[in-house]
Structure 1
Amino acid sequence: MKVVFFGTPPFAANVLSFLLENGVDVVAVVTKPDKPKGRSRKPVPTPVKTVAIDHDPQIPFFQPEKASSPEFADLLPPFDVDLFVVVAYGEILRQHILDMPRLGCINVHASLLPKYRGAAPIQRCIIEGEDETGISIMHMVRKMDAGDIIRVEKVSIGPNDTFGEVEQKLCDLGSKALLEVIREFEKGNTSEVPQDESLVTYAQKIELEDCEIDWNQSAEAIHNLVRGVNPYPGAWCFVTTNGEKKRVKIWSTRIVSDVSDTPGKILSCDAEGMIVSCGEGAVRILELQLEGKKSMPPGELQRGTPINFQI
């Protein structure tokens, strides 16, 4: 079975690597264009492109600005493709692209569809305090994340699990499930179930302002935000230090439910962390990062650069 793989970020790169290692015939790879990074602004390839070239320097890969452009569509028919596999590609594909492969296009989505359709399902799921998520593999349609479901695999979310940790669980789970689904397509054994539109929720892209901590919220809500955007973009707030207003990122917290005071007030700071009061309860900050400094335990920061949170 000939497969064209569409994907861009590390999550997709890990899935592609697993498929290649297990003998899936990936005849071409489609990813986003290289982006300038760093001070030199040197173009850097996407993780998916790096994996593809490392596996086979001769593998055809395409980096269109828009995969739905007529110019790109003209490139693929010679491959006589059976299946398109799409994993976090970063673009909604138009119908003429979806109709190209003999068996259609399938997508690996990191949520239990129809919940959390959209760009940030893992982060939004954790921020909302869910204790379970999973992988949904669907047959793609023009509407975003709305296709019939071929396979669902579930995974639990621990109370302190971060976005990065849950993403890795789902990557491992999704890679294995996707390989099994591809093998089922080869045998003609797939079956599909329509999504229940009455249960649809959406996971909008995480913006910088979504990551700002509001100390008037409950300790649980703040803790979920911190772990839901770790390792990126990172939860943040403003502090005052030496008379200056600076931004601090908070990377790790725990809930402290038996204390409460004015929201944003530092109640204590020792080797076990910094306890900060919230609208309900408090959080113990285990790791933070003042702008311009490395990440460190709060006690270490307070000894050198004392801070106070701004409300």
Structure 2
Amino acid sequence: MATTAPSATPNDLLGVTKTLDLLAPRWSVWVLMTVSSQPLRYAEFKPRLPWLADGQLHPRLRHLTNAGVIERTEYAPRHVTYGLTSRGAALLPVLSVIASWGDTYLEKELGANKHTGELDPERIAPAQNIDDAVALLAPRHATPILFSLQARGTATAKTLATEAMPGYGLTAVYKPLERLVADGLVTASGTGGYQLTASGRALAPVFQAISAWATAPAPEPDGSRTRGPGAAPSQNCSGPWATTPTRLPAPAVPAAPPVRPALTTTPPGGPAWQPGDLFSHQIPARPISPAGDPRR
């Protein structure tokens, strides 16, 4: 049984858990991806996120604005747009890494291919893969336990309780461990210890990407934009909701809406998401089982 000390630093773990908390509220990922190509006015979100009930969008925008990944810009009292800050744009490649893990390791339903008649895995949109993956990682104590097992390979419940849940008794570690086992990320070793499954081990690049984003220096505010007289500078950082508006001259209305680039085209700062990448389904996601169970 490996007994080496964990290699992850406290800053790595703290950055990952805080970022997962940022993404965890439902629909937050959808809102981020919706503004990945261009800033939008409040009313323009509804056609793109039609399943959001009235009153759900405003709290998500507030949450993401205060976190510094979305910027609220006020051109006039009733002309406000929401767009990514440079910090938010830097998060898009991280979302791609999470989506790739979900696409590879989360179970999928099988359906008949309309062209060949054969059973093929259903297509899961990147937004759904990210949301499902975050739902597995965000619960309290899940990430510290996974970090510890990634460093050790195999560890007993007592070791995990000491490293991942300091201040808690030994019995407190069993509930999060049971959840991680049920989610297919951890398995019992058979010798009284626990270790990561293949899907759990494959989370290493996900945690690395999140940690790199979380610990990167905050970008300097963009001072290149023209602002109206007396306008406060636009900040790419968190701040109270009531003080975030920035008054700018209203932009010209385009003759036609811009064409969004294909998903395979990567603009500076991250991918541009297709409208089809934003949808939800009600089937709970689980990593693919060793037996090859196709359920998602």
Coarse TM-score class (shorter-chain normalised): under 0.3
**Greater strand content:** 1
Decide which structure has greater helix share.
2
Instruction: Identify which of structures 1 and 2 has the higher relative contact order when contacts are C-alpha pairs closer than 8 Å and 6+ apart.
Output: 2
TM-score scaled by length of structure 2: 0.22
TM-score, L = length of structure 1? 0.22
